[in-house]
């Protein structure tokens, strides 16, 4: 149990003992014995052969030993040792045993040395007592022989230890622990600062996750009624909605061991590694039960089996998945081990993984609504230095429809950077509005070179969008239009649409007509069209296709849908309808778009003078707002009830660009304008 574990922490200041110090000490001992063994510490004084001949002629030499025919050791008589000239030799020999030589020297040529000694013996009537001996340093020879092998083995051990600790990195790392789990363990000894207080919004998801944590803390509360611990919970939702953050909060709140890893941590270049790591992971979790396992991006190993496996090379991932299925709910059931997984691709997961008994709960983490965005803003605004009474979270939440939690965090950070760039001491409302513009549309490029003709075309294009959207009942009213280049866009428009949970055909048709207003304006004013409506056409085509093939809103095709919620249709090479139906679908999509295009042309032709007036104002000011449209067109003819749920939403627009696509003729202009979220300035 986790409670039984020691709470002792290692002192970071205390140096760790390494086994390599032992290896180094052994090597030093060998080297010391080799260099200082034998007579190393009692080494006699060095003299020259001429000094030896002088001492021999004076009768000071008692005995001479020739070692290995190279070195001569000289022993003095007791009388000679009393002489002052020989006193320094005896003084240095502090480890002398009394029988150690007094001097030594290299003899050079043995034959010449013997001849010189014989001559001196005859001339001075002395005896050198010359003897010859052979000595061998067996320890040194053994050391020299074994040293290369010792070095090779030592280097190999060092490299293997580094690899086993992950120091080598990559696929070669952890060569000895290749089948071990890479999960990070968080327990009561680990300081995890994230808690449920840091998770704003996501009330439904937090409630379900908190229940799991509570079950682990107080299992008897549920088991007393006959309930069983859930096996797992799957967090599903778009990127940036807070799935991983929710898991971090669980790790901070739960007082049980928490194993965290990614789905890609199971994947390795070696066969069988993934399944081995799954077994090891659940083994560790079971040893520390009750515990929680969190697998982020589980779609890396949980993809549906048998799909897109044309070469048969994907068996390793399937083996890993099979082992995971067995561990979660098989004969070897792991009790008190809960698996929490997160993915934004739930449609590609294997159905066996999704069933009850493995992932009992599927928690959908959706994009935040108005109230949730307000709560998220309150969390991210706390660390910022704000202008007093200027930032209203309700207003900021309305300015960021469709933003995820990660996007809102990015907005707050970008606002702080913009304020710092301006030299402000605090972050204000305008900084946040500029931050939303910056994130959605990109940085303004006021120095971009645009010819007068292009600028005029952009102005009429954007004015066409504004006019059509203002004149249609279900189209979103315009708030702001600019022809200042921003990012890859040469113009942008911001709208304030009402929030809808269901959309009717007339609403979709009005939106399509407004999107085609830019190209229609070019046709009405210049009697020419350009590549400037690329993104508009893309948006409209997708909308028309959805009406016909997904939502069943076309009379000719009927109440049919070819939408596959399982997400497996991408693996099919055949269409789910016949060639005749395909022709009908193409025809109906074309008719829908063309009818709305003609409708836009008719509206703009009727209001050509007002369109021209609006475009001239836009050319003059570069930015126009809702008030300018009211001055020209008057109040909108459609009285709508304003709701507190009305939010500013992004609208994709188009304006001419100076880049040439590969399929466009030379000199033609192509544009792909990205839309921007509405900013009510």
Q: What is the C-alpha to C-alpha distance for residues 456 and 452, in angstroms, rounded to an integer? A: 6
108 is in an annotated binding site: no
Residue 545: φ, ψ to 5°: -65, -40
According to DSSP, the residues that pair with 185 across neighbouring strands are: 259
Residue 640: how many CB atoms within 10 A of its CB? 11
3-class state of residue 425 by DSSP: coil
To the question of whether residue 49 is assigned a binding role by annotation, the answer is no
CA 291-294-295 angle, 5° bins? 145
- Annotated ligand binding at 464? The verdict is no
239 is in an annotated binding site: yes
**651, containing H or E segment:** strand 650-651
In the chain, DSSP finds a helix count (H) and a strand count (E) of 23, 16
Q: Which residues fall within 8 angstroms of residue 201, CB to CB, at 6 or more apart?
A: 242, 368, 371, 372, 373, 375, 376, 405
DSSP label at residue 17: P
Q: In angstroms, rounded to a whole number, what is the distance separating the alpha carbons of residues 202 and 363?
A: 10
User: Cβ(196)–Cβ(253) under 8 Å?
Assistant: yes
486 forms bridges with which residues in the sheet?
444, 489
Q: What are phi and psi of 554, to 5 degrees?
A: -110, 135
**Would you state the structure tokens that stand for residue 385, as one six-digit string?**
């230095």
SS3 state of residue 247: helix
| HSE-CB of 501 using CA atoms within 13 angstroms | 2
201 appears as a binding residue in the annotation: no
State the residue for tokens 């290896």.
Answer: 23
Catalytic residue among 297, 462, 653, 669: 462
65 burial type by CB count under 10 A (0-12 exposed, 13-18 middle, 19+ buried): middle
**Cβ contacts of residue 237 below 8 Å, gap of 6+?**
243, 344, 364, 365, 366, 367
Tokens at residue 130, please? Answer: 């010359």
558 is in an annotated binding site: no
Greatest CA separation found in the chain? 145
Q: Is 383 annotated as a binding residue?
A: no
244 in a labelled binding site = yes
Can you tell me whether residue 465 is helix, strand or coil? helix
The answer to whether the bond into 346 is cis (omega within 30° of 0) is no
237 is in an annotated binding site: yes
- Dump strand ranges (E) for 469-619: 478-482, 492-495
Could you tell me which of 165, 183, 164, 176 has the C-alpha nearest to residue 281?
183
Consult the annotation and say whether 343 binds a ligand.
Answer: no
Query: C-alpha angle 537/542/543, rounded to 5°?
Result: 100
Task: Report d(CA 242, CA 532) in Å as an integer.
Answer: 37
Q: Is 462 a catalytic residue?
A: yes
Instruction: Check whether 474 is labelled as a binding-site residue.
Output: no
Q: Is 232 helix (H, G, I), strand (E, B) or coil?
A: strand
The residues carrying an active-site annotation are 462
Binding site residue list for ATP: 237-244
Binding site for Zn(2+), by residue number, is 461, 465, 536
**Residues placed in the known binding site:** 237-244, 461, 465, 536
């Amino acid at each position: 149990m986790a409670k039984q574990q020691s709470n002792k922490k290692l002192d970071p200041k205390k140096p760790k003992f390494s086994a390599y110090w032992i290896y180094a000490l052994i090597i030093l001992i060998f080297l010391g014995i080799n260099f200082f063994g034998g007579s190393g510490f009692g080494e006699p004084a060095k003299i020259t052969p001429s000094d030896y001949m002088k001492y021999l002629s004076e009768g000071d030499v008692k005995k001479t030993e020739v070692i290995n025919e190279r070195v001569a050791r000289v022993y003095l008589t007791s009388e000679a040792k009393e002489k002052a000239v020989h006193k320094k030799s005896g003084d240095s020999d502090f480890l002398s045993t009394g029988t150690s030589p007094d001097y030594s020297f290299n003899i050079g040529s043995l034959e010449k040395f013997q001849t010189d000694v014989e001559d001196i013996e005859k001339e001075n009537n002395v005896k050198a007592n010359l003897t010859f001996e052979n000595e061998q340093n067996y320890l040194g020879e053994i050391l020299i022989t074994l040293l290369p092998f010792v070095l090779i083995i030592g280097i190999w051990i060092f490299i293997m230890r580094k690899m086993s600790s992950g120091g080598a990195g990559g696929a070669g790392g952890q060569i000895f622990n290749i089948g071990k789990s890479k999960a990070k363990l968080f327990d009561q000894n680990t300081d995890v600062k994230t808690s449920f207080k840091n998770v704003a919004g996501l009330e439904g998801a937090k409630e379900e996750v908190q229940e799991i944590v509570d079950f682990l803390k107080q299992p008897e509360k549920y088991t007393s009624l006959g309930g069983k611990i859930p096996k797992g919970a799957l967090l599903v939702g778009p990127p940036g909605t807070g799935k991983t953050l929710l898991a971090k909060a669980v790790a901070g709140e739960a007082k049980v061991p928490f194993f965290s890893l990614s789905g890609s941590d199971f994947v390795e270049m070696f066969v069988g590694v993934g399944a081995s790591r799954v077994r090891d992971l659940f083994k560790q979790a079971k040893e520390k039960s009750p515990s929680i396992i969190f697998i982020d991006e589980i779609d890396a190993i949980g993809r549906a089996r048998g799909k897109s496996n044309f070469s048969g090379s994907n068996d390793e991932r399937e083996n890993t998945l099979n082992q995971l299925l067995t561990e979660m709910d098989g004969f070897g059931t792991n009790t008190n081990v809960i698996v929490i997984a997160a993915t934004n691709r739930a449609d590609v997961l294997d159905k066996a993984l999704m069933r009850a008994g493995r992932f009992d709960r599927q928690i959908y983490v959706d994009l935040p609504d108005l109230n949730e965005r307000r709560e998220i803003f309150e969390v991210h605004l706390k660390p910022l230095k704000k202008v007093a009474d200027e930032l209203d979270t309700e207003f900021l939440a309305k300015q960021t429809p469709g933003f995820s939690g990660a996007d809102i965090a990015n907005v707050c950070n970008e606002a702080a950077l913009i304020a710092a760039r301006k030299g402000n001491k605090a972050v204000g409302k305008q900084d946040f509005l500029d931050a939303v513009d910056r994130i959605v549309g990109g940085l303004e490029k006021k120095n971009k070179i645009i010819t007068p003709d292009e600028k005029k075309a952009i102005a009429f294009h954007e004015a066409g969008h504004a006019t059509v959207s203002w004149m249609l009942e279900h189209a979103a009213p315009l708030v702001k239009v600019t022809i200042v280049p921003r990012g890859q866009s040469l113009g942008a428009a911001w709208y304030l649409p009402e929030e809808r949970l269901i959309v009717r055909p007339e609403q979709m048709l009005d939106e399509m007509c407004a999107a085609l207003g830019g190209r229609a304006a070019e046709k009405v004013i210049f009697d020419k069209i350009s590549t400037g409506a690329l993104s508009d056409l893309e948006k409209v085509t997708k909308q028309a296709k959805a009406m016909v093939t997904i939502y069943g809103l076309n009379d000719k095709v009927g109440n049919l849908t070819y939408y596959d919620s399982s997400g497996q249709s991408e693996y099919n090479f055949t269409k789910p309808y016949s060639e005749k139906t395909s022709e009908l679908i193409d025809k109906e999509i074309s008719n829908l778009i063309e009818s709305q295009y003609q409708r836009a042309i008719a509206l703009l032709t009727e209001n050509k003078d007002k369109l021209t007036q609006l475009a001239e104002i836009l050319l003059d000011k570069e930015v126009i707002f809702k008030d300018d449209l009211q001055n020209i067109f008057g109040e909108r003819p459609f009285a709508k009830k304003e709701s507190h749920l009305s939010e500013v939403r992004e609208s994709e627009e188009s304006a001419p660009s100076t880049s040439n696509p590969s399929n466009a003729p030379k000199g033609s202009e192509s544009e792909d304008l990205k839309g921007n979220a509405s900013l009510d300035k």
